[in-house]
Amino acid sequence: MNVTQLLNELAQQNIRIAADGDDLTVRAPRGALTPWLREQLQLHKPAILALLRRDVRADAQPAVPRVTPDLAARHQPFPLTDIQQAYWVGRMSEFDQGDVSIHFYVEVDGKSLDLPRLEAAWNRMVRRHDMLHSVVAADGRQRILEEVPDYRFIVADLREAADVDAALAAVRDELSHQVLPNDRWPAFEIRASLLPGGVTRLHLSVDLVNMDGGSLMLLLDEWTRTYFDASTSLEPLEFSYRDYVLAELEMRNSPAYQQSLAYWKQRVPQCRPRPSW
């Protein structure tokens, strides 16, 4: 057993160790510290002490570069991240499974929904979040558009339709498999179906090349809050997504990144193999 495997075993047994001068202090649940583990601790004591001492030296950790917003270049092209590029390339028809996008579709029913107010709240989100007005060019670079027009919901009045279910199914079939173009705005579509009984069904289709699941949940939360209270104050966004992407690329040349990369290159071969199914 090497020192990494030993430390993993101690962690699994909820055994805590610390350096105390040239000795180790051990805190363990009753019965967890077996004679064999005691023997392994003694065997690997010098290496464990070296690791513990290295971890407490804060000055040994290289600083992470500071990110500063670049407002002047906010609308200049910038690269896709690795996962964005994978989504963008994977939807191309040249691939066997092309013409399929990373995509979110949901339907929500609301009663007495104020569509103009909901639309105004959505346009507030578009103006607030850069990636709701971004496009991906043919060269694989993305750009935050400086200005976009107000978005208008597509509204269908089905209150007196002969077959409401069929009409709703047609919308669902179209939007749930939608592949929205990345090279022009918008990368989303919102429709509203007016139904009998004062119910409105909202259809929301969003291409996720420009946002992840966590971002989508935050977006929906802010949209809902601003719909119910138009005076809701939202914290200003200091950084753009462009700032983040360029800072992440620049950080790869930093000592902090290189140290972490070197650590994981050494660490990964020592990790336990994946479970076999």
- Whether residue 193 is predicted with pLDDT greater than 50 in this model: the reply is yes
Using DSSP's 3-state secondary structure scheme, residue 9 falls into: helix
Q: Is 183 part of a structural domain of the chain?
A: yes
Q: Dihedral (C-alpha) 29, 35, 36, 39: value to the nearest 10 degrees?
A: 110
Domain shared by 100 and 46, yes or no: no
Using DSSP's 3-state secondary structure scheme, residue 111 falls into: strand
Domain shared by 168 and 143, yes or no: yes
- Indicate the pairing of strand 141-144 with strand 199-207: unpaired
Q: Is 277 part of a structural domain of the chain?
A: no
Number of domains in the chain: 2
Task: List, for residues 229-265, the tens digit of each pLDDT value.
Answer: 999 999 999 899 999 999 999 888 887 788 888 888 8
Partnered with residue 18 across adjacent β-strands are: 25
Domain shared by 47 and 19, yes or no: yes
Q: Is 275 part of a structural domain of the chain?
A: no
Specify the pLDDT at position 47: 86
Instruction: Evaluate whether 205 touches 189 at the Cβ level (below 8 Å).
Output: yes
Q: How confident is the model at residue 205 (pLDDT cuts 50, 70, 90)?
A: very high
Domain shared by 104 and 136, yes or no: yes
Domain shared by 245 and 266, yes or no: no
Domain shared by 39 and 171, yes or no: no
Task: List, for residues 171-191, the tens digit of each pLDDT value.
Answer: 999 999 999 999 999 999 999
What is the percentage of the chain residues whose pLDDT exceeds 90? 58
pTM of the model: 0.74
Domain shared by 47 and 27, yes or no: yes
DSSP string, 189-254: EEEEEEEGGGEEEEEEEEEGGG--HHHHHHHHHHHHHHHH-TT---------HHHHHHHHHHHTTS
Partnered with residue 203 across adjacent β-strands are: 107, 191
Q: How confident is the model at residue 3 (pLDDT cuts 50, 70, 90)?
A: confident
Task: Copy the structure tokens of residue 232.
Answer: 């809701």
Report the distance separating Cα 96 and Cα 93, nearest Å: 7
Domain shared by 139 and 16, yes or no: no
Specify the pLDDT at position 58: 46
Q: Is 200 part of a structural domain of the chain?
A: yes
Domain containing residue 265: 3-63+256-270
- Residue 142, exposed/middle/buried by CB under 10 A (0-12, 13-18, 19+)? buried
The residue-averaged pLDDT of 2-17 equals 81
Give the residue, 35 or 59, on which the prediction is more confident. 35
Q: Is 68 part of a structural domain of the chain?
A: no
Supply the mean pLDDT for the chain: 89
Task: List, for residues 55-104, the tens digit of each pLDDT value.
Answer: 555 445 566 667 889 999 999 999 999 999 999 988 876 666 557 889 99
Q: Is 13 part of a structural domain of the chain?
A: yes
Domain shared by 92 and 128, yes or no: yes
Domain shared by 130 and 216, yes or no: yes
Which range is least confidently modeled, 23-32, 76-85, 133-142? Answer: 23-32
Sequence-ordered alpha helix ranges (H) in the chain:
3-12, 35-43, 45-56, 82-90, 115-128, 164-175, 213-228, 241-251, 255-267
Specify the pLDDT at position 93: 66
Nearest to 149 by CA among 126, 167, 116, 172: 126
Specify the pLDDT at position 2: 80
Domain shared by 177 and 93, yes or no: yes
Nearest to 211 by CA among 246, 232, 186, 247: 186
What is the percentage of the chain residues whose pLDDT exceeds 70? 93
Report the distance separating Cα 190 and Cα 223, nearest Å: 13
Q: Is 70 part of a structural domain of the chain?
A: no
CATH number, position 134: 3.30.559.10
Q: Is 149 part of a structural domain of the chain?
A: yes
Domain shared by 148 and 189, yes or no: yes
Give the residue, 57 or 42, on which the prediction is more confident. 42
Task: Copy the structure tokens of residue 257.
Answer: 């990144």
